[in-house]
Amino acid sequence: MTANDPNPVLPRRPSRLVPTIAAVAVGIVVIAATAGLPIDWRDLGTVPAQLVHFGGLMFESPNWEKLPRALTEMWRSISMAWIGAILCVLVSIPLGMLAAGSVGPVWLRLPMRGVFAVIRAVPEVIIALILLTITGLTPFTGALALGIAGIGTQGKWVYETIESVQEGASEAVRAAGGGTAEVTRWALWPAAAPALLSLALYRFEINIRTSAVLGLVGAGGIGSMLANYTNYRQWDTVGMLLIVVVVVTMTMDAISGAIRRRVTRGPGVARTTRTALPARTTRSRNVDRVR
């Protein structure tokens, strides 16, 4: 088509058939799921009043007499989360690296990714219920459930991180005669280690929240205490436990987030500037003396 063409040919308008069919299919699924549930939509009007009522029972005058025990149980939950994160990272890093496209062969890579997908499909609570028949009602059950459940997601993060590393260092190691093991050790691992450490800390944050849920099925920690007092309708103690959970979780998130930022971004610019200024001053003085 040119500027002097009296009959320009316009491009065809892209078809919207596929997006329309997809939107209609999603709408049908949502409507079918909503219609299949025995929900009385008239109860939605009473939800705000119920929230205000039970919120007042829990937080107007919390029962702080149980605070020492609550802190002890919260420490157990944090311990479960920490042990589960360590188990998850120790297993998922080597397996995830084998599942990366630049490391493992196809016959090993595809089955490993399938295993990660299967583990991600099983919730932590289901894994804990299965482990209860083996290990019993102990905090170790919760830690083991957190460790196993996290392997699926953590392994996926590992091989995606390895695959996103730039190929320059890998090509240099291969050009020097290195094999897959040398490329992994001297090219991929140094480049991916900060991101993997950040993801490991993020897994710890997730485990802290999940450990409270596992306590509801008898795995111990603050969740078990919360379930017991909820069953007995002691709302003042439940409110105190919720305050402890929120405060401790936010504190651990802040600490872990600060460590992750330090790992991924390195030392602050201000510190680098402060350490660099005296050297520049000394060098300029030496130049002045020479002159």
Q: Report, as an integer, the average pLDDT of 115-121.
A: 92
Tell me the mean pLDDT in the region 116-138. 86
Residue 139 lies in a domain: yes
pLDDT at 172: 80
In a domain, 9, yes or no: no
In this model, does residue 167 exceed pLDDT 70? yes
Amino acid present at 166 = Q
Confidence label for 282 from pLDDT (cuts 50, 70 and 90): very low
Whether 255 is in a domain gets the answer yes
CATH number at 171 reads 1.10.3720.10
Q: Give the percent of the chain with pLDDT over 90.
A: 19
Q: Looking at residue 279, what is its pLDDT?
A: 47
Show the domain range for 226.
64-265
Using CA atoms, how far residue 111 sits from 164, 181, 188, 195, 250, in Å, is 21, 20, 22, 24, 38
| Residue 41 resides in a domain | no
In this structure, of 94-108, 255-269, 275-289, the range with the lowest mean pLDDT score is 275-289
Q: Does the residue 213 lie in any domain?
A: yes
Residue at 48 is within a domain? no
What mean pLDDT do residues 83-93 have?
A: 91
Helix axes 139-163, 67-98, angle to 10 degrees: 40
pLDDT of amino acid 24? 92
Instruction: Name which of 23-32, 47-56, 157-166, 216-225 the model is least confident about.
Output: 216-225
The model's pLDDT over 192-251, given as tens digits with 9 standing for 90+, comes to: 888 888 888 888 988 888 888 887 777 778 888 888 888 888 898 889 999 999 999 899
Tokens of 229: 């007092």
Local confidence band at 1 (pLDDT 50, 70, 90 cut-offs): low
- Give the per-residue SS3 of the chain: CCCCCCCCCCCCCCCCHHHHHHHHHHHHHHHHHHHCCCCCHHHHHHHHHHHHHHHHHHHCCCCHHHHHHHHHHHHHHHHHHHHHHHHHHHHHHHHHHHCCCCCCCHHHHHHHHHHHHHHHHCCHHHHHHHHHHHHCCCHHHHHHHHHHHHHHHHHHHHHHHHHCCCCHHHHHHHHCCCCHHHHHHHHHHHHHHHHHHHHHHHHHHHHHHHHHHHHHHCCCCHHHHHHHHHHCCCHHHHHHHHHHHHHHHHHHHHHHHHHHHHHHHCCCHHHHHHHHHHHHHHHHHHHHHHC
For the chain, the average pLDDT equals 82
> Which residues, at least 6 apart from 244, have a Cβ–Cβ distance to it below 8 Å?
67, 70, 71, 74, 222
Quick check: is 12 in a domain?
Answer: no
Q: 132: buried, middle or exposed (CB in 10 Å: 19+, 13-18, 0-12)?
A: middle
Look at residue 114 in the predicted model and tell me its pLDDT.
93
pLDDT over 50 (residue 273): no
For the chain, how many structural domains are there in total?
1
Question: What pLDDT score does 228 carry?
Answer: 87
State the pLDDT at residue 118.
93
Res 111: pLDDT: 92
- Indicate whether 56 belongs to any domain: no
pTM for this predicted structure? 0.74
pLDDT over 50 (residue 291): no
**What is the pLDDT at residue 45?**
81
| The pLDDT value given to residue 113 | 92
